Each structure stands twice: as structure tokens, then as C-alpha cells.
Structure 1
Amino acid sequence: MLHRSFHKAQKTGYKAGLCCLTENPMRKSLFTLALALAALPFASTAQSNNPLLGKWTTLDDETGRAMTVVEIYPAQNGTLAARIVENIAAPPTCSKCSGSNKDKSIIGMPVLWNIRNENGNWGGGNGLKPSTGDTFRVRSVELAENGTRLRVTGCKGPFCRTATWQRRE
């Protein structure tokens, strides 16, 4: 088959190589699908054993009371993100948010995004605290107490606060 493709390439002026695999729309689709499937195990392996992934209960900074359940999941380009998946005791909508999140349900709302691994430390990116509508820069996301707690440190200007989340079973 490659021999025929090579001769076809010579007749049509194409150079031998991938052009013959991708000139036919059906072959191009199959070739693209094969490449994507071949890369899939490598992409999922990098994130699947990440101890930050999963569901966490957020705790009120002042009372320690459970507020929401947040899911941390792999996002684009090796980053992590988190969204609210269950409301326990928080206001049901983001009334203090601005822009597109104003008065929207907090279920499904992103609370962390673009969290990057830099030399083994997770941080960077941004966050949203729906109860206040504040956005912040994420300084760090760190496991604590043998992986049962997560400390999320966010900063607004020079001021930083750390929230503690508890792993869900």
C-alpha cells in the first residue's frame, strides 16, 4: 500500500510521506483519530495518580462549617481546575459575583482554574470565592494531614489567606 501511495504521490507531485495518508478526507479522519487514541494513555496517566484530584468539602474560614463540595479535575495543558458539585450550606447563587457569574447557581461554578505544577508545587492560576464574589490569585494548593486536608492559599494584592478543604470519602 505504501508503494502505491509513493507512486501516487510522484504522479500528483506530492512528496512521499504523510501527505498520502491525509489527502483523502476519510483517511485523514482515521489518521487523526489513531493519533489521538495513541496519545490518550500518556495524557491520562500524568493526571490520574495526582493526589489533588477528587472531591473535597470546603470549610467556612471562620466557623469551620462545611459549605460546599468541590471537585478538582484535570484541565487543559496539564493544569488543574475545580468546580462546585454540591451545595451544603452556602448561598445557592453567587449574588455578590460580578460579570457572567452574577446571580448564577453556584453548582457547576468554577472556583479554581489554571492551577499549574511548578517544580512539584501546585499553584498559580486564579480562584473565586462565591460567598463574597472575590477573585484571587492562587499562591499554592498543598496536601496536609496525610492527604486528608487540602490547603488553598489565595492572595489579593499583598494579602493572603489559606482555606482548608477536607477530602470526601
Structure 2
Amino acid sequence: MKHLFFLVLISLSFTVKGQSIIGQWETYDDKTNEKKALIEIYKTDDVYFAKIVNKYIGEKNSVCTACEGDKKDKPMIGLVIIEDIKKDGKEYNDGTILDPESGDVYSCYLKLVDDNKLKVRGYMGVALLGRTQYWIRKQ
């Protein structure tokens, strides 16, 4: 009986991990496919956020000169770029994503493609008008 209980606990832990977007994700340049940044997705209450934890391209000490408001001239490392995402079935919706290069803020949704690949969609207006990236879970 103890062995069965242990196996059930192990399988549940893998299932929960597989369904979670929480963790570190590597982003890639759309044109060169070069590794660009390391993003950490975290959860506060029932809302998800993401911040830059490392940059692979450009100066590590750069600031967001294109950003507006309280993010203006803040360091890129530690900058929160995804805010207010809420889980909605298999997708995560109703939040925003900041493009720190342009300072533009877009509506955003996230969806796990598989355990190690995250679809990140930023859009204006309807979800058809926007850009999609795929982030890879850092191992």
C-alpha cells in the first residue's frame, strides 16, 4: 500500500509540473534565432507575472529607455514584462506584455504547447493582429 501511495504522489507531481507555466524560460530572436533572454514566470495569488532575469544579447546593465511611466529608465534585469495573466482552462489570458525594446505594451495570452514549450502571443485589438513567440523552458 505504501508503494502505491508513493507512485501516485510521484505521478501527481509530474502532472502538476507539466501543466505549470511557472519557471524560467529562454527567449530567442525572431530573425536570428539567437538566445536573447531568460524570463522567470511567477505567480502571486492567482495572477501570473514574468520578469527578465538575464540577458544574453546586449549590455547586461542596460535600462528601458523606451518604456513609459514607472518602468522608464529601469534596469532590464528584473523588469516585469508580463502582468496580470490569469489561468483560463488551458490558456492564460487577460494580461499584458511589454516589449522592452520599443516600450510598447500589448494584450497577451500564454499557452503551453508541451511541457517545455510556451506559446507567447502579444496582440492589439483582436488576437489575430499580433506576434507570436515560442519560449523554451530552461532545463
- Range of TM-score over shorter length: 0.7 to 0.9
Q: Partners of 1:99 and 1:85 in 2: how far apart?
A: 21
1:56 counterpart residue number: 25
Give the paired residue count: 120
| Ranges of 4+ aligned residues in structure 1 off by more than 4 Å | none
- When you count helix as a share of all residues, which structure comes out higher? 1
> Does the 8 Å CA contact 1:127/1:135 hold for their aligned counterparts?
yes
Equivalences for residues 70-81 of structure 1 within 5 A = 70-76=39-45, 78-81=46-49
For structure 2, list consecutive stretches of 5 or more residues without a partner in the other structure. Answer: 1-12
Tell me, in whole angstroms, the C-alpha distance in 2 between the residues paired with 1:101 and 1:90.
19
Select the structure with the greater relative contact order (CA < 8 A; seq sep ≥ 6). Answer: 2
Q: Which runs of 5 or more residues in structure 1 are unaligned?
A: 1-44
**Which protein has the bigger strand share?**
2
Work out the CA distance in 2 between the residues paired with 1:115 and 1:80.
5
Distance 1:73 1:64, change over 3 A: same
CA RMSD in angstroms, aligned pairs only: 1.9
Q: Among all aligned residue pairs of Structure 1 and Structure 2, give the percentage whose two residues are the same amino acid.
A: 29
Alignment-derived partner of residue 138 in structure 2: 168
Alignment TM-score, normalising by the size of structure 2: 0.77
1:74, distance to aligned residue in structure 2 (A): 0.9
Partner of 2:70, secondary structure, is helix
Please tell me whether Structure 1 or Structure 2 has the larger radius of gyration of its CA atoms: 1
1:157 is aligned, of 119, 122, 125, to 125
What amino acid does structure 1 have at the position aligned with 2:35? A
